[in-house]
């Protein structure tokens, strides 16, 4: 049984302008010890998917349907008190912005101790010992002294470490990291990614990594979900998708990425903007921006189906295999020929 | 505060100038004072944001500047634009020293150097229409009649890929990428020679980022523009730049031709930066090792002595790196314009952390330091 299985998840927000379908039929699953990367641009629904799983969306004007089975228990049907038990204990989350996700008027020690005492029946002293242990593990120098500091006394990278320490303090089975390195410099990003990998192998936790950076995905993910306009357009083990991407949006993402290892003359660009989720385009949602659009794309939404000869690689596109083979090969050839 | 008189044909460190450079930045310093007291303010320290930066930019090229937050790259750009008064050093634009020009004497030069900012949400006035925002510089410099200016603005909107009929819209009606295009149109309005781009794409999604980067390249080709392109994303800088400067704590630690610098970095910091960038290819990224630097960038109020990178450097040598400040010079077997500020430059690339620590006593490197 997978650790987390999400089936046909839908999250709709009722707004003054109409219903925003922020997540529209997303399914994926993740095993213990695995890392799932969810990649997509702003507004593709990747963060809302995870907030829905965690039960963190505002109650009013939100409808969530589908299933999110965590160890067989449907989180969407769980009571608020049961969710509070699970959050921070079995499932923990790291948010993008370490500046706003810590409470500025409490010391980091107090906040870490609270995270322990909420879920464990231990004394404050024991909890503090545990907090100190975690701060050391995430590599905060002089942790004994820093534990009584306030968040503003830490740098961005250090605050993100405190967030990670807090997320891991109760040995969660699942860690959801929502763009944990986006606000950080590259050398700090390298420190944090190395840390997440190490802690994952130490505790055998599963990690869902939400990012817009295909580089981060290639570095740490085992499986990849590509989201576009609230839907999954491609899902595959990491090697396959980088070796043979199947969806024109994935091609666009890869082609528009400037690369360190290749000298590209010109980036492939995806024309236009992502669609409004109030009134998404009929048929395939990518059709107004797709260079390979056919008549069928404008009327019929392509189902998410396995590619020929590979049941683990799913994609949602009407294009024929031959075109896809050709275009994927052309893209990879472009990278290879530009490589220094 | 005083700048010693320099012969006009060389920089403070003796680099000869041909006189054809569009921009020469020579020993630029910017210190921000830290004061104590309310009425009688006494300076107790200074943030050494930029400390002795020297480089030249030729017409039609793109100079990329990379570095982490706090390395002084934005302060440097603002000094070049004369938005901040430099503490020391000089700035030559087309051979003319503009360092100490008054506001009015500076005005003709303002037409020739424009800036594109990082945040497309904060850099456009939300209460002004797009037409006004783009036209403002034209009106300030009195370049044409109302009708001519309007025609020019519509032309500019078209050049940057916006609908000219959106002239009367407000910034909030546009997406992030479109706003950045408005910022580009505004910078282009007065036909500048030099455009300083301060992190122009870091707030954008990848697909939109690619659109804006391609647009900048096209504009450079069509209008013979010169760019100083500041970014923290090394991938983006590689794509857009001809030459690259790497900054660390207010100083240039390495500079050179794009391909030389990316393919055979010489400074350990550049090496660490390059190894830290995730590569969008699982086979490549699995086969290599990240060089993880210890700790954070030190405070620019009291930067480390001698080599500023020495407390974090994997090949730190006691008694040398913390005593003798390295100069930014040509080292070892590097290409002629590839300069490095390090006593022990990297012999080859890629290196692992252990190989970096076990530096080879390269005779070539030792000889060049004389």
pLDDT in tens, B90-109: 999 998 899 999 989 999 99
Structure tokens, A40: 């997509």
**Are A270 and A131 within one domain?**
no
pLDDT band at B369 (very low <50, low <70, confident <90, very high): very low
Same domain, A139 and A167: yes
pLDDT at B286: 77
pLDDT in the model for residue A59:
86
Instruction: Write down the pLDDT at residue B353.
Output: 78
Q: Identify the CA nearest to B317 among candidates B343, B288, B352.
A: B343
Measured CA to CA in angstroms, residue A41 lies from A56, B194, B206, B348 at distances of 21, 32, 7, 37
Chain B residues with CB under 8 Å of A271 CB are 211
Largest CA distance in chain B: 69
Cβ of A259 and B273 within 8 Å?
Answer: no
Judgement on whether residues A102 and A215 belong to the same structural domain of the protein: yes
Q: Are residues A183 and A145 in the same domain?
A: yes
Residues of the domain holding A268: 245-338
**pTM of the full structure:** 0.87
In chain A, count H helices and then E strands: 12, 12
Decide: A126 and A133 in contact? Cβ < 8 Å: no
Residue A206's SS3 state is strand
Residue with tokens 């393919």: B263
Residue at A235 is within a domain: no
Q: What's the average model confidence in pLDDT over B8-20?
A: 72
- Chain B residues whose CB is inside 8 A of the A186 CB are 68, 232, 234, 273, 276-277
A232 within a domain of the structure (yes/no): no
Under a CB-based contact definition with an 8 Å cutoff, are residues A121 and A129 in contact? no
d(CA A248, CA A262) in angstroms, rounded, equals 21
pLDDT confidence of residue B363: 43
CB B165 within 8 A of CB B198: no
Integer Cα distance of A222 and A237 in angstroms: 6
pLDDT digits (tens, 9 = 90+) for B252-271: 999 999 999 999 999 999 99
* Phi-psi sector, B274: left (phi>0), alpha (psi -120 to 50), beta: alpha
A36, A112: one domain: yes
For residues A304 and A334, state if they share a domain: yes
Task: Mutation target for A interface from B206, B249, B261: give the one with most A CBs within 10 A.
Answer: B206
Question: Does A234 fall in a domain?
Answer: no
Helix/strand/coil for A138: coil
What CATH number should be reported for the domain holding residue A141? Answer: 3.40.50.300
B68: nearest CB among A187, A260, A335: A187
Looking at the 3D structure of chain A, how many domains does it have? 2
As given in the structure block, the two tokens for residue A240 are: 């396959």
Which stretches of chain A score pLDDT less than 70?
Answer: 339-340
Q: String of b and e for A198-209 (b: at least 16 CB within 10 Å)?
A: ebbeeeebbbbb
Mutate to test the interface with B, among A161, A186, A328 (most CBs of B within 10 A): A186
CA nearest neighbour of B156 among B184, B115, B196: B184
- Chain B residues whose CB is inside 8 A of the A213 CB are 278
Segment B216-225 shows an average pLDDT of 93
Q: Do A123 and A257 reside in the same domain of the chain?
A: no
**A173 domain-assigned:** yes
Q: Find chain A residues with C-beta within 8 A of B234's C-beta.
A: 186, 260
- Count helices and strands in chain B by DSSP H and E runs: 12, 12
pLDDT at residue B360 above 80? no
Distance from CA of A86 to the nearest CA of B (A): 33
* Residue B228 pLDDT greater than 70, yes or no: yes
For residue B178, how many C-alpha atoms fall within 13 Å in the half-sphere facing its CB?
19
A171 and A261, same domain (yes or no): no
Whether residue B364 is predicted with pLDDT greater than 50 in this model: the reply is no
Domain B251-369: which CATH number of 3.90.25.10, 3.40.50.2300, 3.30.230.70, 3.40.50.300: 3.40.50.300
A252 and A216 together in one domain: no
CB spacing of A258 vs B208 below 8 angstroms: no
- pLDDT tens for each residue of B164-179: 888 899 999 988 889 9
Is A110 strand, coil or helix?
Answer: helix
State the pLDDT at residue B8.
61
pLDDT at residue number B60? 93
Q: How confident is the model at residue B7 (pLDDT cuts 50, 70, 90)?
A: low
Residue A233 lies in a domain: no
Provide, rounded to the nearest whole percent, the portion of chain B with pLDDT above 70: 94
Q: State whether A218 and A270 are in the same domain.
A: no
Beta carbons within 8 Å of A133's beta carbon, 6+ residues apart: none
Mutate to test the interface with B, among A141, A269, A277, A335 (most CBs of B within 10 A): A269
Do A102 and A38 lie in one domain? The reply is: yes
Find out whether B317 and B304 touch, Cβ atoms under 8 Å.
no
Helix axis angle for B176-188 and B206-223, nearest 10°, is: 20
The ranges assigned to domains in chain B are: 251-369
B138-147, pLDDT tens digit by residue? Answer: 999 888 899 9
A199 assigned to some structural domain:
yes
Band (B367; pLDDT cuts 50, 70, 90): very low
């Amino acid at each position: 049984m997978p650790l987390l299985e999400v089936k046909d998840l839908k999250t709709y927000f009722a707004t003054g302008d109409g219903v925003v379908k922020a997540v529209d039929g997303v399914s994926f699953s993740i095993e213990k010890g695995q890392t799932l990367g969810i990649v997509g641009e702003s507004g593709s629904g990747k963060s809302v998917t995870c907030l829905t799983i965690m039960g963190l969306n505002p109650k009013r004007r939100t409808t969530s349907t589908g299933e999110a089975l965590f160890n067989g228990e449907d989180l969407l049907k769980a009571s608020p008190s049961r969710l509070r038990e699970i959050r921070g204990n079995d499932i923990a989350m790291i948010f993008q912005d370490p500046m706003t996700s810590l409470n500025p008027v409490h010391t980091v020690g107090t906040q870490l101790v609270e995270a322990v005492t909420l879920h464990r029946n231990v004394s404050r002293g024991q909890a503090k010992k545990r907090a100190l242990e975690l701060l050391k593990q995430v590599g905060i120098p002089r942790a004994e002294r820093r534990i009584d500091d306030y968040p503003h006394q830490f740098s961005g990278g250090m605050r993100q470490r405190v967030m990670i320490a807090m997320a891991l303090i109760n040995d969660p089975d699942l860690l959801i990291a929502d763009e944990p390195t986006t606000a950080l410099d590259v050398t700090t990003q390298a420190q944090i990614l190395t840390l997440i990998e190490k802690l994952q192998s130490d505790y055998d936790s599963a990690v869902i990594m939400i990012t817009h950076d295909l580089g981060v995905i290639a570095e740490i993910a085992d499986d990849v979900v590509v989201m576009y306009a609230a839907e999954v357009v491609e899902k595959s083990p990491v090697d396959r998708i980088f070796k043979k991407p199947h969806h024109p949006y994935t091609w666009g993402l890869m082609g528009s990425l400037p690369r360190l290892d290749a000298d590209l003359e010109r980036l492939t660009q995806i024309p236009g903007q992502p669609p409004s989720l109030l009134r998404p385009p009929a048929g395939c949602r990518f059709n107004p921006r797709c260079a390979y659009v056919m008549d069928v794309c404008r009327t019929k939404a392509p189902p998410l189906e396995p590619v020929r000869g590979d049941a683990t690689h799913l994609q949602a596109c009407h294009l024929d295999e031959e075109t896809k083979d050709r275009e994927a090969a052309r893209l990879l050839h472009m990278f290879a020929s530009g490589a220094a | 505060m005083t700048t010693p008189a320099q012969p006009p044909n060389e920089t403070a460190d003796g680099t000869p100038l041909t006189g054809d450079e569009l921009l020469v930045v020579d020993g630029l310093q910017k210190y921000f004072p830290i004061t104590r007291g309310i009425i009688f303010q006494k300076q107790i320290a200074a943030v050494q944001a930029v400390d002795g930066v020297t480089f030249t930019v030729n017409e039609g090229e793109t100079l990329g500047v990379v570095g982490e937050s706090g390395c002084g790259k934005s302060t440097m750009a603002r000094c070049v634009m004369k938005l901040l008064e430099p503490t020391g050093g000089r700035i030559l634009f087309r051979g003319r020293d503009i360092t100490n020009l008054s506001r009015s004497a500076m005005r003709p030069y303002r037409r020739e150097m424009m800036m594109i900012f990082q945040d497309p949400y904060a850099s456009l006035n939300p209460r002004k229409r797009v037409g006004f925002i783009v036209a403002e510089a034209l009106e300030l410099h009195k370049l044409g009649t109302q009708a001519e200016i309007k025609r020019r603005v519509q032309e500019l909107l078209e050049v940057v890929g916006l609908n000219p009929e959106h002239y009367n819209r407000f910034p909030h009606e546009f997406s992030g990428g479109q706003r950045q295009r408005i910022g580009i149109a505004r910078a282009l309005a007065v036909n500048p020679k030099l455009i300083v781009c301060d992190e122009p794409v870091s707030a954008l999604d990848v697909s939109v980022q690619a659109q804006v980067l391609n647009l900048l390249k096209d504009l450079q080709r069509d209008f013979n523009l010169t760019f100083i392109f500041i970014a923290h994303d090394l991938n983006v800088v590689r794509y857009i730049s001809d030459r690259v400067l790497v900054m660390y704590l207010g100083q240039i630690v390495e500079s050179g031709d794009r391909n030389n610098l990316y393919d055979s970095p010489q400074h350990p910091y550049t090496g660490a930066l390059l190894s830290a960038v995730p590569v969008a290819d699982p086979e490549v990224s699995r086969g290599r090792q990240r060089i993880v630097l210890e700790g954070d960038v030190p405070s620019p109020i009291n930067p480390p002595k001698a080599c500023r990178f020495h407390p974090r450097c994997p090949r730190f040598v006691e008694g040398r790196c913390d005593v003798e400040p390295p100069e930014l010079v040509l080292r070892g077997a590097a290409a002629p314009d590839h300069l490095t500020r390090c006593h022990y430059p990297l012999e080859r690339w890629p290196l692992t952390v252990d190989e970096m620590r076990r530096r080879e006593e390269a005779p070539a490197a030792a000889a060049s330091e004389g």
